[in-house]
Structure 1
Amino acid sequence: MNADTATDWTDRMLELRVGPVAHGGHCVARDGDGGRVVFVRHALPGELVRAVVTDDPGGAFCRADAVAVLEASPDRVEPACPWAGPGGCGGCDFQHTDHATQRALKTTVLREQLERLGAGAAVVATADLAAVEVEELPGGPLGWRTRVRLAVDDDGVPGLRAHRSHDVCEIGDCPLVPAGALPPVLERRFRPDSELDVTVVGDGAARVGSGATVHAADRTWELSAGTFWQVHPALPDTLASVVRDWADAPTGGVAWDLYGGVGLLGSVLAGQVGESGTVLVVESAASAVADGASALANLPQVQFVRGRAEREISRLGPDPDVVVTDPPRAGLGKAAVRDLAARAPQRIVHIACDPAALARDLSLFAAAGYRTAALRAFDAFPMTHHMEAAALLERIPR
């Protein structure tokens, strides 16, 4: 490291030619001739920008916000949200480009992560990685979010967090939430330094700390306050359809739904194994287990197991024919993949909300004797860098 990179660059203004998109909602640039890597938010590949360094952890890289665009990409648009730019709300990454370009950027990231983290070969062996696209979900890029967590500042004013910060950004609305739902909540005052779970219910009203009635997989689910449910209204049925197409659980067989929440995907497996089969839904949250058991009370083949899935894999019985996994953002990891492969299911439908974690897990599964037979990804979080992906893994005969 040279003397200049040893200096804290925070608040330094840089003129940068922006390079490719990277995982995390930013693009990569370099300062000077082969200088430090700068991760630039609010920019697009190919643009020339002035960027202010917002965070310098030292070493080979720093983070910056593009505050002026000197040469704009043809894909740049005016953000739909006035609070989404530099120094504002940190919830959105791609307000400054159109929806199709957002999906293209996410597709680039997904393919790059699969290749870079070693899973690319496992995917390319059975499917053309170049054909993998982040697919659009119904509803468009705005007004899709049915749940949002607000932070409350020292004065009791609710808002959203700034990027990589605990600071609360005061907002007048959020265009990702159905129109008209959020302002009545934002006008109220709450206990300082608290957080609010806001749910947009069927009549379009936003309620704080409230449960909800939702519909998916041909069922109605009564959710308690705080019980997890996907925030994009089209995603539950989309994932249910993927499981229905890929799982192929045999009649009378055994299926596991790990990190199963209220058993949405377990209900699909139940229809495949029938009343003579068994579906074990493993979930650690008590409210989800209670809500799921109530919703699926008419399916005697479904049993809920409350516990951490990674700890239960080696203890569950009998061995499964098919497994659905939907772990947290960090993915399954080495131990869970090892223990799951040891139970030798014929098929695993693996769902991931982080492309890097997906790539790592697919690589681990490949080493454990599974091939990636299919892969799909969905733009379940428009305007952000996040996506949802699903992979079908098949056991390689030995």
Structure 2
Amino acid sequence: MSTHETIDWTGQVLEVRIEGPAHGGEFVARHDGRVIFCRGGLTGERVEVRVDDDPGRGFCRGTVQTVIEASDGRVEPTCPAAAAGGGCCDWSHIAPATARDLAGRVLAEQAGRIGRFEPPHGTVAVDVPAGDDTRSGWRTVARWFTDDDARPGVRRLRSREIVSQPCSQPDPRVLDAVLGAGVGRRREVLGVLGDDGTVHVAHRAADTDVRRGRGRASGRAAATRARARTAAGRRWELALGGPMVERRVGSRRWLVPVDAFWQAHRSAASHYSDLVGAAVADAPGVSTDPVVWDLYGGAGVFGAAARDAFAGAHITVVESAQGSLTAATETLGADAGIHTVRSRVETFLESGPTGTTQSTEDGARPVSGAADIVILDPPRGGAGIPVMQVLASATRSRIIHVGCDPASLARDVGVLVSAGWQLRDLRGVAAFPGTHHVEGVAVLDAPGRT
């Protein structure tokens, strides 16, 4: 193929064989030497795919139109919104066990390609959150957008257009409340189901910034920057329920702002808490009063899990969002061994650990510039190479990384592995059933620890 040849397959329908999953939810196929990223396919299938987007390079994107030879893992799609083109449940046509296997393959592939390391067991198992294997109605936090007729819906894939057919993810109580709230046209709507059964509905002006970056990665980055620029000027207005949402993990109760981060899956917070607590308790070579940093700590759920693992632990929860940190302080502040800090993680690592103190029952204990155990749950972009490099030298025993995205998790963990850290465990969590999204939990031990 000449480098000067103009290629545009847009609108063509091509017959291809699906090879395997790609990071991002699409599946890879090839035709005439070019890669086609296919939406709606499944490994091993022979399909007809319509090319929707062709940038004229070595790849294009398309949607499966006809399945000629179906995989045993294909099931009847469960999401009306996705069937109508919504960008929500892109894997609702895949049986849950098959989807988890594919998600594990993506985690392992990203580990090798980006992180330059191999999973400890070769493959990566993907857990069902706390054994809760429901395919629909699992989401307790969801967002919608209202169209010109004030009907709530999800956005069409790679578009601002609203699809009004219902998504299968939200708990029906949340959707019913949103439908009855009457928030008006061109609004962004937030629905939250508290653990006490209360439904909260808030709304604000929809983001109308339609600027796009070039390419998928830059497009996501541009969208993130646009949301950050406009969020402060688009305050939430309550339509139903109060401003604080009740959350529970184990015997503890949190009150978090309606717009504060919390795990969307109804069983995910408890599942992650159990995983992190077990990894903290098993950390090698630590005393009965280890120093623990809970970075990107949110409301302090993992800090609480660390306290349950070590009654004498000295725990610092670091979070930049005031609402989440206030929830952490109000729930955990009575525990003298838990200290909350409002700070960006980068700032905390530069200046926060050294010279600060934590209150304990025996008085103030200095916090050194190092921790025995670090737990981090960064946003989708990950912690980043500089943060991981600092943690590699500032952590004495174990790092537990909860990652929202396979690629950023692989990059972050790869920094530790290249510094001599030993990857003890890597597993996935199917916290978003019916979608390609998979989260990962990596447990690593410092060089020389057994």
TM-score calculated relative to the size of structure 2? 0.81
Are 2:93 and 1:100 aligned?
no
Structure 1, unpaired ranges of 5+: none
Q: Return the match for 1:333 from 384, 405, 419.
A: 384
DSSP 3-state at the match of 2:386: helix
Shift of 1:115: 2.0
Cα distance in structure 2, aligned partners of 1:190 and 1:5? 51
Aligned to 1:153: 147
Equivalences for residues 74-89 of structure 1 within 5 A: 74-85=72-83, 88-89=85-86
Shift of 1:338: 1.1
DSSP 3-state at the match of 2:395: coil
Equivalences for residues 40-55 of structure 1 within 5 A: 40-55=38-53
Aligned to 1:360: 411
Q: Return the match for 1:378 from 429, 435, 442.
A: 429
CA contact (8 A) 1:110 1:355 kept: yes
Aligned to 1:257: 294
Aligned to 1:22: 22
Are 2:228 and 1:177 aligned?
no
CA contact (8 A) 1:150 1:158 kept: yes
Q: What amino acid maps onto 1:50 in structure 2?
A: E
Q: Return the match for 2:263 from 230, 247, 250.
A: 230
Are 2:439 and 1:388 aligned?
yes
Are 2:57 and 1:6 aligned?
no
Are 2:252 and 1:219 aligned?
yes
Deviates more, 1:348-357 or 1:49-58: 49-58
Cα distance in structure 2, aligned partners of 1:384 and 1:395? 34
TM-score calculated relative to the size of structure 1? 0.91
Q: Deviations over 1:141-170 (max 9, x none)?
A: 221111101122344322111122222211
Cα distance in structure 1, aligned partners of 2:331 and 2:395? 30
CA contact (8 A) 1:255 1:320 kept: yes
Cα distance in structure 2, aligned partners of 1:174 and 1:298? 41
Residue 237 and residue 227 in structure 1: after superposition, are their counterparts in 2 closer, same or farther (change >3 A)? same
Aligned to 1:109: 106
Are 2:314 and 1:281 aligned?
no
Cα distance in structure 1, aligned partners of 2:198 and 2:246? 13
Deviates more, 1:21-30 or 1:137-146: 137-146
DSSP 3-state at the match of 2:263: coil
CA contact (8 A) 1:322 1:347 kept: yes
Equivalences for residues 159-198 of structure 1 within 5 A: 159-171=153-165, 173-186=166-179, 188-198=181-191
Shift of 1:118: 3.8
Shift of 1:356: 1.4
CA contact (8 A) 1:270 1:299 kept: no
DSSP 3-state at the match of 2:82: coil
Q: What amino acid maps onto 2:245 in structure 1?
A: A
Q: What amino acid maps onto 1:64 in structure 2?
A: G
Number of residue pairs the alignment of both structures matches: 388
Q: Deviations over 1:17-36 (max 9, x none)?
A: 2111111111101123x2x1
Aligned to 2:343: 307
Shift of 1:184: 4.3
Deviates more, 1:324-333 or 1:195-204: 195-204
Shift of 1:50: 1.8
Q: What amino acid maps onto 2:109 in structure 1?
A: E
Shift of 1:253: 2.4
Cα distance in structure 1, aligned partners of 2:373 and 2:195? 34
Q: Deviations over 1:177-205 (max 9, x none)?
A: 22354144235543433311111234656
Shift of 1:109: 1.2
Are 2:49 and 1:58 aligned?
no
Q: Deviations over 1:32-68 (max 9, x none)?
A: 3x2x111001111122222222222331111111122
CA contact (8 A) 2:81 2:88 kept: no
Cα distance in structure 1, aligned partners of 2:137 and 2:427? 24
CA contact (8 A) 1:159 1:186 kept: no
Shift of 1:344: 3.1
Q: Return the match for 1:294 from 330, 346, 365.
A: 330
Cα distance in structure 2, aligned partners of 1:218 and 1:253? 23
Structure 2, unpaired ranges of 5+: 203-242, 354-367
CA RMSD of aligned residues (A): 2.2
Aligned to 2:448: 397
Equivalences for residues 318-329 of structure 1 within 5 A: 318=368, 319-329=370-380
Cα distance in structure 2, aligned partners of 1:184 and 1:304? 35
Deviates more, 1:285-294 or 1:246-255: 246-255
DSSP 3-state at the match of 1:174: coil
